[in-house]
Chains A and B, each alone.
Chain A
């Protein structure tokens, strides 16, 4: 067999095993990733950093001059960071997966209440290490993030925050908020660094340790949606919405203490849609697969509309049969989106569908 013939056989073999993608799709893959990064990911991290800075400043002011009005400013700041976190939390790739940053920013789900117990122990003991410069960062990840801060700001005993200057609880809240601000800054810096993760993702190739080719880079983006949709319906909704009302767990709802459950769910789903739009992922779909874009559009539209029509706390939603049914509908719609991204879009773009979207076995 001559060399050319061998090459042809190899090419046919490769086409059989891996399928033969349209060349134009590969060319456009990096453009889509660039659009996702510049159009959504960097702005989201900037907003998160800004929100973290503002909240830390608000808490600092509260500790120095406590008042009901100042506490309300802190609460507004917490609402703001919940929204900003929703945007960042959907990007489960890159810097957030390093140094336990994801867990440090939000230790959740925590069904055994590990974080709560540790936070209560720190408050009871008035642990000086927890409020010393850099001391908190040495503590368990369970007391560092937004869930811990939410309990300090809204949990039992939080009324002290507006009553006593430089009270321990407030100083603890300040230490957590400063740590969150540091983490938010690290995330932004690493996304933006010239040799940072964005650069790695935008430049796939044989020498790139993470993305050997455009397909792998694109798969990572599609996985953000597929994994994110699965996490959203199984954990962020499914964590407190049971299969039947008897199995509901309102106390497991994320950000229930600050009454931000619905705010978080709305922002998360609408940001997935925004990321989809900004990335222009649909432009990679062949014409015969237009239906996938339509199905994704349908899912986002109806999921977002249902969430917009809801109101109240997690417990109030679960207690009201109509509202509960609407939330269940959102879960169903998002499960469909999970299949649209994880199966349909993955196949249409000729990407590898993982055996498991959330993780393997």
Chain B
């Protein structure tokens, strides 16, 4: 606890006077006492979109407006930079600063590209990588942005597949793991999926320094409609992946598994009882290396599962309407819902400010 408090104070120190000044005394106190701070995209009661910083007790301590619906927030702990990405096929991301000392800055996708909703910073915080769609060529790309040059776009490299979504920077600081969902879309047709019959998702490992594809991993051909969408690192060199199945709902294939560069991807088997509750759709995944577990959520199935990190066996199940965002918290998990409910898997429902929280929840401090 003492360590967490120091981290909290450090956060406030980094946040600086501007941030502290914008908080009411009660909220500043809340933040100081909170074990953790989280970020999530939201929609409020007036229909406005934004990204919010939330204390562990559910208090919204800061908000950044977004011009359209957001998806995930990438952040860099040391620099305090964060970027909220538009949901696909949005073309705007908003960079902000946890310290709120700079005005939020819009990043506009290059012509012929749109964001997919996820991104990641390099370890030193100087570069930002964003999953993007080269929609005229139906090719996934990773846009590279220079953080200190006002997020100027430096270039791009292939993601290794169609429909890149979530990505992770592996522990080597060099390899990007990219979930290519395999689904072709084009802004002319909104979010319609154009290639379901032939989709071919893959997990790619790309050298971010040279933009070269190091390795492509794929599931067996019979599972070509299992779209690999979200990733979570296990802290020791491998990662977990979570999928959404685009095939017939009556089929219920495994939806999550583990992968490591140089090895064959492994899907975790789940009993039919739990699998059917996920409705062939996992919205978010989080790993908790400290506890040796992972968690997956299904907003369609109103369900959160905590699983053993090695076997994938279900350890616990929570029913929670519209749950989607999930992140590790101590040896447990913190989850968010589209109904504005926050949930701590140790303590239960956390009273919150009732923002409709969007798909992902990121722990940004503590």
Contacts and interface: CB of A to CB of B under 8 A. Distances in A.
Contacts of A65: none
B238 interface: no
A103 interface: yes
Interface stretch (A122-130, A320-328, A349-357): A349-357
Interface stretch (A47-55, A67-75, A156-164, A227-235): A227-235
A360 B280 CA distance: 11
Interface stretch (B104-112, B201-209, B243-251, B261-269): B243-251
Contacts of B249: 97, 210
A295 interface: no
A296 to B, nearest CB: 20
A358 interface: yes
Given A17-B319, A361-B165, A361-B229, A234 B191 contact: yes
Nearest to A356: B191
Which among B87, B190, B244, B358 has the greatest number of chain A C-beta atoms within 10 A? B190
A360 B300 contact: yes
A138 interface: no
Interface in B166-200: 186, 188-194, 196-198
B192 A16 contact: no
A193 to B, nearest CB: 13
Contact of B319 (A18, A102, A235): A18
A252 interface: yes
B288 to A, nearest CB: 23
Contacts of A355: 283, 299, 322, 324, 338, 358-359
B76 interface: no
B302 interface: yes
A17 B320 contact: yes
B349 interface: yes
Interface string B57-96: 0000000000000010000000000000001100000000
B321 A352 contact: yes
A58 B235 CA distance: 65
B117 to A, nearest CB: 6
Contacts of A19: 321
Contacts of B359: 355, 360-361
A8 to B, nearest CB: 16
B333 interface: no
B341 interface: yes
A158 to B, nearest CB: 26
B300 A112 contact: no
B244 A100 contact: no
Contacts of B192: 109, 231, 234-235, 358
Contacts of A246: none
Contacts, number: 102
Contacts of B87: 361
B281 interface: yes
B153 interface: no
A6 interface: no
Contacts of A352: 299-300, 302, 321-322
Given A112-B138, A359-B191, A209 B250 contact: yes
Which among B116, B194, B252 has the greatest number of chain A C-beta atoms within 10 A? B194
A360 B277 contact: no
B190 A238 contact: yes
Interface in A25-54: none
A356 B190 CA distance: 12
Contacts of B14: none
Interface in B310-366: 319-322, 324, 338, 341, 348-349, 358-359
B71 A209 contact: no
Interface string B152-165: 00000000000001
Nearest to B338: A355
B122 interface: no
Contacts of A285: none
B116 to A, nearest CB: 8
B33 interface: no
B338 A353 contact: yes
A352 to B, nearest CB: 6
Which among A231, A235, A354, A355 has the greatest number of chain B C-beta atoms within 10 A? A355
A3 interface: no
B317 to A, nearest CB: 13
Interface in A61-104: 97-100, 102-104
Contacts of B290: none
Nearest to B319: A17
A354 B299 contact: yes
Contact of B283 (A104, A249, A353, A360): A360
A360 B189 contact: no
A141 interface: yes
A100 B165 contact: no
B92 to A, nearest CB: 16
B270 interface: no
B272 interface: yes
Contacts of A117: none
B281 A235 contact: no
B276 interface: yes
Which among B87, B322, B358 has the greatest number of chain A C-beta atoms within 10 A? B322
A112 B88 CA distance: 20
Given A97-B248, A209-B252, A111 B197 contact: no
Nearest to B360: A361
Given A18-B321, A212-B277, A235 B190 contact: yes
A299 interface: no
A257 B197 CA distance: 24
Nearest to B325: A355
Which among A14, A210, A352 has the greatest number of chain B C-beta atoms within 10 A? A352
Given A17-B319, A17-B349, A239-B188, 14 more contacts: A17-B320, A18-B319, A19-B321, A107-B197, A109-B192, A111-B194, A209-B276, A210-B276, A238-B189, A238-B190, A354-B299, A355-B324, A358-B191, A361-B71
Interface of B: 71, 87-88, 116-117, 138, 165, 186, 188-194, 196-198, 229, 244, 247-250, 252, 272, 276-277, 281, 283, 299-300, 302, 319-322, 324, 338, 341, 348-349, 358-359
Ranked nearest first, the 5 interchain pairs of A and B with the lowest CB-CB distance are A234-B190, A98-B248, A103-B197, A100-B197, A141-B197
Interface of A: 13-14, 16-19, 97-100, 102-104, 107, 109-112, 141, 209-210, 212, 230-231, 234-235, 238-239, 249, 252, 352-356, 358-361
